[in-house]
Amino acid sequence: MVPTQECSTTDCGRPAAFATRSEPAWCLDCIDNLVRAGGLEPAEPFTKPSTWRLTTCSTCGVQAHYLLKYIVGNNAAGIATCRACHWKAWPGNRGPRSGATPDREKIARRLDEFGYELIDPLDEVSDDGNGPLVAKCRQCGRIWAARMADFGWHCNCSRNSRSSNPASPRAGRVLLSESDSPALQWWDHERNDEATFRTVTVRATRACQWRCPECGLRFEAKPATMTDRPTCPDCSTRRQEEWEIEYAQWKTTPIADVPELAAAWADDADPRKVMVANGTQRRFRCPKEHYPRLTPIRFLKAGCPQCRGAKTATAKKWLADTSPEIASQWHPTFNGTHTPQNVAWNSQRTVWWRADCCGHEWPDTVRARDKYQRLRCPACRTFLGSLAWHDPGLAAEWSPANPITAWNVRPHTSTPFVPEWICATNPGHTWQAPLSSRSNGAECPDCREAGKSRVELAHHAAAEALFGNARSGVAMKDKAFTTRKSWTTDISVSVNGHTLVIEYDGAYWHRAPAKVLVDERKSRDLLAAGFCVVRLREDDLPALGIDHPRYREVRVHSTVARPGPVMEDIRDWVTSLTA
């Protein structure tokens, strides 16, 4: 049943057009009234709050798209929503030069570079685009009024933001009870129930109860604010008061009375007349013969900044380790001695790149490659983090009939259409399935209905007879998986506390190049998770080329199956590894 709630307008009483958990919701008539209160007239029906809605300004007549939340916020602040009116009246709008007319073609060409189609350069616009322009995004059709500089940031639909900083990836859904967070020592078991402790995550925003291990204060706070660096309100206030007292003492203490400062003093001023806390930068000399200029109290508390920088330099995150996809496009000859192995992932250095898809070459900073649109190639307009990069085997089954390519969609994104797929094993099999289900391991429905081959079932029976705990078709998940969130395994066995995964690769189902890619990515993910992996490669299937101590390939023949001896050989191998 679709959740419903009452309109938030006082005395309205009608059902709201949408439902929310904590935000107001309104009926269709009240939504239109809110739009009109913002000086706009609806130009199309309302669908949902997250959809840009076309409106017409009641003052200037300019049509543009706005979000309901944006209109409501402006209404609360007493601000008219129309951006065309706003930029016309903006004090920084210089308008056209005397006797000059806007160069429409020049403005249109500039907008086209940003992916927009010029609709109208308003009367006050200057030839450099300083005033308001009305333009439409070529990709999503959104119309908005803004300055040329604002269009340079590109439309929101072309943003390809990442979920976390690549140098310090955000933790997934990690339970606080299973983490190594210092906040565990602060958890108040008396005032929180056991169910909360078992289910709360490190990034939860619900209010929980805590107890300071230092002063015993009990207080309420969110786990998200306590996970990394737990703090006590009373202790923080006390430390601030103590610091203020200490700082007042440093204001009357000369440099000469502090041995560590006097020994490092290299300034021309008299250390007997300069106070430790005086706010003026002074020259010091550290044991490494660095001569930094900083305030005395800063040098006393933090030491030499150059020495600190040398320590942190060893912890730099290099591009090759942090962003392998960007590193793979590093130009092989244009960057001199600089390589992805010695350039930081967020460096502002401008280097050369080469797209492997079309050969396009261009200069850009390393940091800019991972910002805003995060394009893999500015010429092809493909973006980073796509399905084609993460899972090329699955991307090979992406149908060309889909409106976008596998280079323009993420593995678990929600698409406005249901993607079509073409089976790599049998191109005659085509079907539609959500992207997330395919990335979670769903295979071709026609092939799945065919079931397991007789030879594969015989090997599973032999594994069950020999190991006693062989399971078939178990879906495995692990944080170490990088290609897919879960993999379904053919045979899984527990041996000496370790998990052994046995994959049977039939010659018919696993010969296609896309399936070879999937088999390789699957094996590497399973190995990264700490499993022992054996692939039974049928007949003349080529080897996958994986070199790992916990990986082994065994050649089997469909016409002369020997499941018993094969499993005994595997048992001896895995026992020697886990003994």
In a domain, 16, yes or no: no
- Does 226 score more than 80 pLDDT? yes
Of the candidates 425, 445, 465, which is a domain's last residue? 445
Are 190 and 144 in the same domain?
A: no
Q: How many C-beta neighbours within 10 Å does residue 333 have?
A: 7
306-318 residue pLDDT tens: 888 777 656 678 9
Are 380 and 410 in the same domain?
A: no
Residues 6+ apart with CB under 8 A from 154: 114, 115, 372, 373
- Does 109 score more than 70 pLDDT? yes
pLDDT band at 167 (very low <50, low <70, confident <90, very high): confident
**pLDDT above 70: percentage of residues in the chain:** 93
CA dist 199 → 42, 457, 483 (Å): 45, 39, 27
The average pLDDT across 366-388 equals 90
Are 509 and 541 in contact by the 8 Å Cβ rule? The answer is no
- Does 449 score more than 60 pLDDT? no
Q: Is 226 exposed, middle or buried (0-12, 13-18, 19+ CB in 10 A)?
A: buried
Q: What is the pLDDT of residue 3?
A: 53
CA angle 347, 350, 355 (to 5 degrees): 105
Of the candidates 367, 384, 401, which is a domain's last residue? 384
- Does 405 score more than 60 pLDDT? yes
Cα separation, 482 vs 469, in Å, equals 28
Q: How many C-beta neighbours within 10 Å does residue 202 have?
A: 21
Are 292 and 344 in the same domain?
A: no
C-alpha 41: how far from chain center: 37
In a domain, 246, yes or no: no
- Distance in angstroms between the alpha carbons of the first and the last residue of the chain: 55
Running DSSP on this structure, what letter comes out for residue 330? B
Q: What is the pLDDT of residue 424?
A: 92
In a domain, 12, yes or no: no
Are 513 and 556 in the same domain?
A: yes
In a domain, 171, yes or no: no
Q: Which of 154, 120, 143, 151 is nearest to 40 (CA)?
A: 143
In a domain, 91, yes or no: yes
Of the candidates 415, 430, 445, which is a domain's last residue? 445
Q: What is the pLDDT of residue 451?
A: 59
Helices 28-37 and 68-77 pack at an angle, to 10 degrees, of 50
In this structure, the chain runs to a length of 579
* Collapsed DSSP state (helix, strand, coil) of residue 15: strand
Can you give the CATH number for the domain in which 551 is found? 3.40.1350
pLDDT band at 463 (very low <50, low <70, confident <90, very high): very high
Q: How many C-beta neighbours within 10 Å does residue 347 have?
A: 16
In a domain, 460, yes or no: yes
Give one DSSP letter per residue of 57-84, joined into a string.
Answer: ETTT--EEEE-HHHHHHHHHHT----HH
pLDDT band at 126 (very low <50, low <70, confident <90, very high): very low
Are 349 and 423 in the same domain?
A: no
Q: What is the pLDDT of residue 317?
A: 87
CA dist 319 → 5, 213, 314, 413 (Å): 50, 41, 14, 25
294-308 residue pLDDT tens: 999 999 999 999 888
Are 164 and 170 in contact by the 8 Å Cβ rule? The answer is yes
Are 476 and 551 in the same domain?
A: yes
CA angle 463, 466, 467 (to 5 degrees): 80
Are 152 and 187 in the same domain?
A: no
Are 113 and 203 in the same domain?
A: no
Residue with the two structure tokens 């508390």: 301
Total structural domains in the chain? 6
Running DSSP on this structure, what letter comes out for residue 150? H
3 state SS for 80-93: CCCHHHHHHHCCCC
Domain membership of residue 477 as a residue range: 452-578
The average pLDDT across 182-211 equals 91
Are 345 and 372 in the same domain?
A: yes
Cα separation, 347 vs 238, in Å, equals 40
In a domain, 170, yes or no: no
In a domain, 394, yes or no: yes
Are 372 and 465 in the same domain?
A: no
Q: How many C-beta neighbours within 10 Å does residue 466 have?
A: 16
Are 189 and 293 in the same domain?
A: no
More confidently predicted of 111 and 97: 111
248-273 residue pLDDT tens: 999 999 999 999 999 999 999 999 99
Are 526 and 487 in contact by the 8 Å Cβ rule? The answer is yes
Residue with the two structure tokens 């990690």: 174
Are 154 and 32 in the same domain?
A: yes
